[in-house]
Structure 1
Amino acid sequence: MSISADIITNAEVRLSSTEQIVKKLEEKGTKYVRLLYSDIHGYPRGKDIPLDFFKSITEEGQAFCYSNLVDGLDGSPLNAPGMPNRGYPDMRAIPDLSTLAVIPWEKDTVQCLVDLVDNNGKPVDISPREFLKRTTTLFNDSLRLTPVLAHELEFYLLQKGKAGWKRYSDQAGMIYTVGYRTDELGLMQKFLEAGKVLNLGVTAANREHGGGQFEVNMIHGKAVSSADRAFSFKNMIKEVAACNGLLATFMGKPFNNQPGSGFHLHLSLMNQQGKNVFSDSSAADGLSEMAKHFIAGVLHHAPALTAFLAPTINAYKRLIPNNIAPVSTDWGYDDRNVLVRIPPERGLGSRIEIRAGDGAANPYLISAVCLLAGYDGIIRKIELQPVEVKGNSLPRTLTESLQELYADKALCELIGNSMITAYSAVKTAEIERYQQYVTDWELKEYVQHL
């Protein structure tokens, strides 16, 4: 790697002109800048730009096709909402210079996340990053509070076999083990090193329950920067795996006989004095009334939230009983079977953990919608039921989740019509493609006997 990891600090970005930033990049040996943004799925889209052209892009933006935000994962185009028969117009990507970071697996290259604007210079409202920004602004303006998040992700590593992709390791039940017996290529340390270079705040890595399944934790932070790190983290894992001849997948349930991969969201709120407002030392359980209203809001809207937390057809194969994954709208103290877990830390560490997230979920979207559900709980002072009260069942399919989303008028209003329309259009098209697809299970079940 020819570029120093301390390429440029946020403070330097704030105090420097674009010319000074580009000059420092040149001094570090940078030749290319990779622009990245998240589509609706959470998949990274972008372009590689020679450094010579980067200054003009910071001022004018880089053109991308607007409808790319809502393309299907199979490559099928889907026109962006509200834009029928307009012929795939452009949007512009404006680099957020505070996100510049070295790409350790690409020679002479840095990455930079972008903000998306339309041809009138207005933020693209179906951009997941913009959606989360609007959500944090709502908390700041209405409640004078700052959301603080941490993301916790599980994934599988796969290697090529004679019959296609197989698990990197078949040793199941090796949770919390480390070393070459379960990671013969030493990838965990490679992930930690790449995370350090990219400033992702990666704090720990370990094997999980499944054969070839791993988990990596990240430090907490303000909502947008935390989601930025989670987005970049998923991309980093896939890229480092690919550099080592492997495939990393965050798919929620890739194997019938192995555990699923979750995406757990840790969340709290901080006031203007830097105090965690979920904490109340005078309460018997150490939790404030605001925290309990927030939890109640999440539980109240949980059936609708599931459309975002479990965003694929496959995700619902993970949300089954006795799988350390939630199946109902319940909560508990340090209980990993429930939807909202209250970790034992208190004071500055007071937080909630939302455990229904699927590994394939979009970090910007799930962060935003869970915050909005909690916001509604605070504003309406929704009462939290006692911990022993069993909640209602969560939706069992993506179709049911979308129906619950449409029916939740209060949450839809907070999310906004543009995002609801875009997201539901993408997911409805996904469901329709699946309904037309003949699966291996159907062939095995029917073809010989019927």
Structure 2
Amino acid sequence: MSAHDTPSVRRHQDRLAAEGIDVVRVTYPDLIGTDRARDVLLDHLPSACEHGLAFCRAVYHTTPRGDVVAIQGGIDAGLPDISVRPDLSTLASVPWEPGVAWCLGDTTDPATAAPAAESPRDLLRSVLARCTDAGLSPIVGPELEYFLLEEDATAPNGWRRSPTVTGSVYTAGLRADPDNHLLRTLRQLRDLGIGVITGNHEFDGGQYEINLTHSDALDAADRAFRFKAAVKELARKEGKLATFMAKPFNDSGGSGFHLHFSCVDADGRNVFDDPAGAFGLSGNARHAIAGLLTHAPALAALLNPTVNSYKRFGPDTLAPWLINWGLDNRSAMVRIPPERGSGARLELRLGDAGANPYLAIAALTAAALLGVQEGKEPPAPLEGYGYDLEKSQVLPMNLTAALDALEADVELIELLGKDFTASFLAYKRDEAERFQRHVTDWEFAEYSYHL
């Protein structure tokens, strides 16, 4: 019996009512990973589960500025609906909003009852189904960084880092966080039940990192999606802004989205570990590394998905902009942490925090699976500092180049799906074209006086 069957829905309804919950917030991710949502009064929950909640499909095609991009199936089709049904297995009470429970929603096309073509959650499911066919179950541990900002009318963009203190990387407590933002956030997220485990102040002023425990790939994506939405909501409650954009300031580094990745078999055994294998890694692990390196240019489009993403790249940025791998080497795109046995894994350090968790994990998983299927060995691991153009190929250095690489990667597109990829490419090419036409402050400062 599914969670959408009437008796099961009634049990959830009764439990929530007993806990003082009278509203269920149903959310789902759009293409860029923003949470789209509707609040449902508890009395209406059975109807929402049975019939779904109607949303305009063009929400997937809507830019952060509120414009709708002309993508097939949206404006051209008369702005049809998608249907969103609550996934009651993901229900959680919202600690900072009494009376509200939060769950994810599954999106379908009402005309076909199939998953919506642009649904990031269903894209990941489809890639994971291919892994299941290959006898592999991916395990993912997300690490995300973000900046906390407060309003400042004197700042060029109206916001300043909160706090501005620098030099406090890998610290906790009042030295770098005099308002105790991190402690409050950790405790609220713990009570939300999304598997947060640790947190610390990061490299730049007002920058934080919070880590989530590892789990199966879909659950990890769900939790990373909810983590980002929750952190931003908690900041809003305090009149601040938490941003996961790749690089919000010229004089600071960027925020990363690192993904720890391994696979287990049907018995739960880590199939990346092999004491007799090269570097203590199994053939599956080495082939997965080779797959990531082969498809890295296309992966950039999904793990570095904005115009701003590529401002994070460059020499001495601690952001990987060359295609390489290394043993416990943080300057490499793919790092192999020193643990073996059940902890054997790879860490993809390519992504920035602005990436959609579902798309990032789907892309990582697809490239690793392609590598396993192809069975090639990776080149020798990087030794020393990783930013040497003579040792490694350069990743795409702007969004358009990354989109071109994705469009040319036929193998990866076959796994991700042609319909999804076409929509993503059209949406993101519109972003790149709009930026190309925009006159920036830098251009005015550079040219206006002398030219």
Which TM class, normalised by the smaller chain length? over 0.9
Q: Which deviations, in whole Å up to 9, do the C-alpha atoms of 1:171-199 show, x marking residues without a partner?
A: 11201111122212211111111211221
* Equivalent residue, structure 1, for 2:120: 128
* Distance of aligned partners of 1:240 and 1:15 in 2 relative to their CA distance in 1, 3 Å threshold: same
Report if aligned partners of 2:149, 2:206 keep a CA contact under 8 Å in 1: yes
Q: Which structure 1 segments of 5+ residues have no match?
A: 1-10
* Equivalent residue, structure 2, for 1:73: 64
* Equivalent residue, structure 1, for 2:304: 310
Matches within 5 A, 1:8-407: 17-83=8-74, 85-119=76-110, 120-141=112-133, 143-163=134-154, 164-388=158-382, 390-407=391-408
* Equivalent residue, structure 1, for 2:416: 415
Which residue identity is paired with 1:373?
A: A
* Equivalent residue, structure 1, for 2:447: 446
In structure 2, C-alpha distance between the alignment counterparts of 1:88 and 1:414, rounded to whole Å: 27
In structure 2, C-alpha distance between the alignment counterparts of 1:81 and 1:442, rounded to whole Å: 35
Q: Which deviations, in whole Å up to 9, do the C-alpha atoms of 1:344-383 show, x marking residues without a partner?
A: 1111111110001011000000100111111111111122
Report if aligned partners of 2:61, 2:74 keep a CA contact under 8 Å in 1: no
* Distance of aligned partners of 1:174 and 1:388 in 2 relative to their CA distance in 1, 3 Å threshold: closer
User: After the TM superposition, which parts of structure 1 deviate over 3 Å for at least 4 consecutive aligned residues?
Assistant: 11-16
3-state SS of 2:235 partner: helix
In structure 2, C-alpha distance between the alignment counterparts of 1:315 and 1:12, rounded to whole Å: 39
Report if aligned partners of 1:13, 1:21 keep a CA contact under 8 Å in 2: no
* Distance of aligned partners of 1:13 and 1:351 in 2 relative to their CA distance in 1, 3 Å threshold: farther
Which residue identity is paired with 1:365?
A: L
Q: Which deviations, in whole Å up to 9, do the C-alpha atoms of 1:233-255 show, x marking residues without a partner?
A: 00011011111111000111111
In structure 1, C-alpha distance between the alignment counterparts of 2:382 and 2:334, rounded to whole Å: 13
TM-score of the aligned structures, taking structure 1 as reference length: 0.95
Which residue identity is paired with 2:393?
A: N
- Structure 1 position 34, deviation (Å): 0.5
- Structure 1 position 81, deviation (Å): 2.7
TM-score of the aligned structures, taking structure 2 as reference length: 0.95
* Equivalent residue, structure 1, for 2:386: none
Report if aligned partners of 1:13, 1:98 keep a CA contact under 8 Å in 2: no
Q: Which deviations, in whole Å up to 9, do the C-alpha atoms of 1:257-300 show, x marking residues without a partner?
A: 11110000111101000000000122252110110000000000
Report if aligned partners of 1:139, 1:145 keep a CA contact under 8 Å in 2: yes
Larger mean Cα displacement after TM superposition, 310-319 or 76-85: 76-85
3-state SS of 2:194 partner: coil
3-state SS of 1:204 partner: strand
Report if aligned partners of 2:25, 2:102 keep a CA contact under 8 Å in 1: yes
Which residue identity is paired with 1:358?
A: D
Which residue identity is paired with 2:95?
A: P
- Structure 1 position 107, deviation (Å): 2.1
* Distance of aligned partners of 1:449 and 1:426 in 2 relative to their CA distance in 1, 3 Å threshold: same
* Distance of aligned partners of 1:338 and 1:108 in 2 relative to their CA distance in 1, 3 Å threshold: same
Report if aligned partners of 1:81, 1:418 keep a CA contact under 8 Å in 2: no
Larger mean Cα displacement after TM superposition, 69-78 or 395-404: 69-78
CA RMSD of aligned residues (A): 1.7
In structure 1, C-alpha distance between the alignment counterparts of 2:117 and 2:78, rounded to whole Å: 19
**May I ask how many residue pairs the two structures share in their alignment?**
439
- Structure 1 position 449, deviation (Å): 1.1
* Distance of aligned partners of 1:208 and 1:62 in 2 relative to their CA distance in 1, 3 Å threshold: same
* Equivalent residue, structure 2, for 1:4: none
Sequence identity percentage? 42
